[in-house]
Amino acid sequence: MLGKIILGLIVAVAGAIITIKAEWIYQNFGGIPSAEKYLGTEGGSRLAYKLIGVLISIIGFMIVTNLINVVLLAFFNAFFGGLAK
């Protein structure tokens, strides 16, 4: 249990760092062409990096609260129709 809490907090902090440092990531790794096309002209990649960071943080908090199993089970049930019953 303690291991899941520590792992979840590490994942949540990594997501927060990605969200905060989106400009640095953009400058060092470049833009995402599909994000520039669909999310805006000059800010699409930055927004995509921030959305990825927020999503990673949410996954980290789901690991801490042990909700990740429930969400993954519901996801696979929705797409694959009862494989995990």
Q: Per-domain residue ranges for the chain?
A: 2-80
For 7-20, write each residue's pLDDT tens digit: 999 999 999 999 99
For residue 27, is pLDDT > 60?
Answer: yes
Q: Which pLDDT does position 77 carry in this prediction?
A: 84
pTM of the model: 0.83
In SS3 terms, 45-82 reads as: HHHHHHHHHHHHHHHHHHHHCCCHHHHHHHHHHHHHCC
19, 11 Cβ separation under 8 angstroms: no
- How does the average pLDDT of the chain come out, rounded? 89
Residues 41-50 have a mean pLDDT of 86
As a whole-number percent, the residues of the chain with pLDDT over 90 amount to: 59
